[in-house]
Amino acid sequence: MGARVAVLAAAGAARAQAELFERFRVADATAADRAQTLNKLSLEGSRYLDRFQAVGVIRQSPNSSGRYYLDEVALAAYQHRKRPRAVILALLVAGLAALAGALVLATQASHR
């Protein structure tokens, strides 16, 4: 059951991150000269905004304070770096789920 919760949490986080990037794309805020305010992007208080600013995926426009844009090149590089960890995590979660299933079956078999 814990593995299922972890999978659902990871899926929810991935969905929230994808929605964050999509807001920038829909608003065409993908370059410094097209940067938008967080208010216009409806992103005030986003829990992922600070994380992606810290790694350089979301950038503040140098020409105007308070306007942000999605750096697609930086996002692609970030995702490329993160991919091996995601695969390892998925394999770990699958292994834990298989182990939990085997324990349940073993427990049921010993009670018969």
pTM: predicted TM-score of the whole model, two decimal places? 0.67
> What are the boundaries of each domain within the chain?
2-107
Across 37-49, average pLDDT:
86
- Per-residue pLDDT reduced to its tens digit, 80-95: 887 666 556 666 777 7
Residue 69 has pLDDT above 90, yes or no: yes
> Pick from 3, 37, 5: which is nearest to 23 by CA?
37
Q: How far is C-alpha 67 from the chain's CA centre? A: 22
Residues contacting 48, CB < 8 A, separation 6+ = 16, 17, 20
Cα dihedral 95/100/101/104 (nearest 10):
160
Dihedral angle sign, alpha carbons of residues 4, 6, 10, 16: positive
Give domain 2-107's CATH architecture.
Orthogonal Bundle (1.10)
Q: How far is it, in rounded angstroms, from Cα 30 to Cα 34?
A: 7
pLDDT for position 91: 67
pLDDT for position 108: 79
